């Protein structure tokens, strides 16, 4: 079968809740993927930062297959010999006291929201049903109805009402707005250290430290969603580390399994996470031995291959390389580590055009919000591969500029 055959099948039998590029991947290795025709591409999306360790990392695949032969799922009705070790290792690595394992990122966020409310009622003493949670405009925390309840993105929300009450939305990056929004019923503040899906929006320097101080002073929980920014992506283990901030709760997912299985978790203090009681929360697959074994190995790879340091150094190299292209079609380049957003000028038209040009050059990236292209390759990328990427970005931007000069109208998405 050719790509077109797969695309036709998918479009016929699979719900169209995505608009993927027309590339059908059949194999991946490190930073590279191959389509069914055998063409090779440099993956600069990393499944939204789930593939920090690269595609099919040999150590992960070995752990996966070895554990799969032993036992894959016990449910939490029984204990298994991987969950305790993951919990211990993740706490020792991150400095948190406890973990609560789930599967998808959205589930970890839902778990954090439940933890905030439990803490608000049982420890802070908020009156029954009155707890409020503050969140930020343009956030992305997943796709469940409750998470959509505090989304500000119409395309995520439209058609899915009614929503869950108890949330307040303030501007991102504005510590004063947080302070002003807090009431005696506020239990917590949920924030992404860098808003990835919004287009790699980096808050003003000092924001996270200020948030930490405000949350402590007003006795509310600071909850950082590090599902995309965590585990090395921004050049530190957590993006909050850039400001030496320890949130009360952190959600992680995506790269926690190195892109092999859905494994997510909430990390936090005993004071908060020990409020959960048997029966108060759960997940059939959460904490399964297969996922835990793979996550343990994924964390060891993060440490052994110094992926945070690589992200920091190679991220600077890539950002500087993109700046040096000095393309008139680029309005701004921003980000931290290997989480980089390139915002095009309005004259450049829809970013999808550049994305498709890059695809033809063997580079996989994704546009967001029409004008932004995110560059987030696996953290195992090397300098030569970044040079390869930069050459092709330069060519794509130059070609788009030339075409623009000829037509004198903004490029449309095809």
Ligand X SMILES: *Cc1c(COP(=O)(O)O)cnc(C)c1O
Residues in contact with ligand X by CB under 6 A are: 48, 104-106, 109, 140-142, 192, 196-197, 225, 227-228, 253
Residue whose CB is less far from ligand X, 83 or 106? 106
Residue whose CB is less far from ligand X, 132 or 225? 225
Least distance to ligand X from the beta carbon of 230, Å? 9
Least distance to ligand X from the beta carbon of 175, Å? 20
Least distance to ligand X from the beta carbon of 105, Å? 2
Least distance to ligand X from the beta carbon of 316, Å? 22
Least distance to ligand X from the beta carbon of 362, Å? 26
Which residue's CB comes closest to ligand X? Answer: 105
Tell me how crowded residue 353 is: count the other CB atoms within 10 A of its CB: 21
Residue whose CB is less far from ligand X, 142 or 232? 142
Q: Which of 273, 309, 312, 264 is nearest to 123 (CA)?
A: 273
Q: What is the three-class DSSP state of 225?
A: strand
Q: Following CA atoms 384, 385, 391, 393 in sequence, which dihedral angle do they give, to the nearest 10 degrees?
A: -150
Least distance to ligand X from the beta carbon of 264, Å? 6
Assess whether 401 carries a catalytic annotation.
no
Cα angle 86, 48, 261; round to 5: 35
Residue whose CB is less far from ligand X, 250 or 393? 250
Q: Which of 43, 96, 140, 174 is catalytic?
A: 140
Structure-token pair, residue 39: 């063409």
What are the b/e assignments for 98-132, b being 16+ CB within 10 Å? bbbbbbbbbbbbbbbbbbbbbbbbeebebeeeebb
Tell me how crowded residue 361 is: count the other CB atoms within 10 A of its CB: 17
Residue whose CB is less far from ligand X, 49 or 327? 49
Cα–chain center distance at 275 = 27
Strands 98-102 and 167-170: unpaired
Assess whether 225 carries a catalytic annotation.
yes
Q: Which of 43, 225, 241, 248 is catalytic?
A: 225
Residue whose CB is less far from ligand X, 106 or 397? 106
Asked whether 143 and 109 are in contact (CB, 8 A), the reply is no
Assess whether 304 carries a catalytic annotation.
no
Q: Which of 172, 160, 166 is nearest to 188 (CA)?
A: 166
Q: Which of 43, 189, 254, 375 is catalytic?
A: 254
- C-alpha 222/C-alpha 37 separation (Å) is 48
Least distance to ligand X from the beta carbon of 247, Å? 13
Strands 132-136 and 167-170: parallel
To the nearest 10 degrees (0 to 180), the angle between helices 58-70 and 289-304 is: 160
Residue whose CB is less far from ligand X, 101 or 105? 105
What is the maximum alpha-carbon separation in the chain? Answer: 67
Asked whether 323 and 2 are in contact (CB, 8 A), the reply is no
Residues annotated as catalytic (active site), given as ranges: 140, 225, 254
């Amino acid at each position: 079968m050719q790509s077109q055959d797969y695309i036709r099948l998918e479009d016929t039998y699979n719900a169209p809740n995505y608009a993927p590029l027309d590339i059908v991947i059949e194999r991946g290795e490190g930073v590279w993927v191959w389509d069914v025709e055998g063409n090779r591409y440099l993956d600069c999306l990393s499944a939204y930062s789930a593939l920090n360790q690269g595609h099919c990392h040999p150590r992960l695949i070995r752990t996966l297959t070895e554990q799969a032969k032993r036992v894959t799922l016990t449910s939490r009705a029984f204990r298994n010999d991987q969950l305790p070790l993951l919990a211990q290792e993740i706490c020792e690595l991150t400095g948190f006291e406890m973990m609560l394992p789930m599967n998808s990122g959205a589930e970890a966020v839902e778990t954090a929201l439940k933890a905030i409310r439990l803490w608000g009622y049982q420890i802070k003493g908020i009156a029954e049903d009155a707890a409020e949670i503050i969140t930020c405009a343009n956030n992305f925390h997943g796709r469940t109805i409750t998470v959509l309840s505090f989304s500000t993105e119409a395309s995520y929300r439209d058609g899915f009402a009614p929503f869950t009450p108890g949330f307040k939305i303030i501007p991102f990056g504005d510590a004063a707005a947080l302070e002003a929004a807090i009431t005696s019923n506020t239990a917590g503040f949920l924030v992404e250290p860098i808003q990835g899906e919004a287009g790699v929006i980096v808050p003003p320097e000092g924001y996270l430290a200020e948030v930490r101080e405000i949350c402590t002073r007003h006795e509310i929980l600071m909850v950082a969603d590090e599902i995309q920014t965590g585990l090395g992506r921004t050049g530190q283990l957590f993006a909050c580390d850039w400001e030496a901030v320890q949130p009360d709760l952190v959600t992680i997912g995506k790269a926690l399994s190195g892109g092999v299985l859905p494994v997510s978790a909430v990390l936090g203090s005993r004071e908060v996470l020990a409020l959960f009681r048997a029966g108060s929360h759960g997940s059939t697959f959460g904490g399964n031995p297969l996922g835990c074994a793979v996550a343990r190995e994924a964390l060891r790879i993060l440490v052994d291959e110094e992926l945070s340091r690589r992200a920091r150094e190679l991220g600077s190299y890539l950002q500087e390389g993109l700046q040096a292209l000095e393309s008139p079609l680029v309005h701004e380049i921003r980000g931290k580590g290997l989480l980089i957003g390139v915002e095009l000028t309005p004259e450049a038209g829809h970013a999808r055009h550049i994305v498709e040009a890059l695809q033809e050059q063997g580079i996989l990236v994704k546009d967001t919000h029409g004008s932004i292209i995110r560059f987030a390759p696996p953290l195992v990328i090397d300098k030569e591969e970044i040079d390869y990427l930069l050459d092709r970005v330069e060519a794509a931007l130059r070609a788009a500029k030339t075409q623009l000069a000829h037509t004198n109208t903004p490029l449309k998405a095809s």
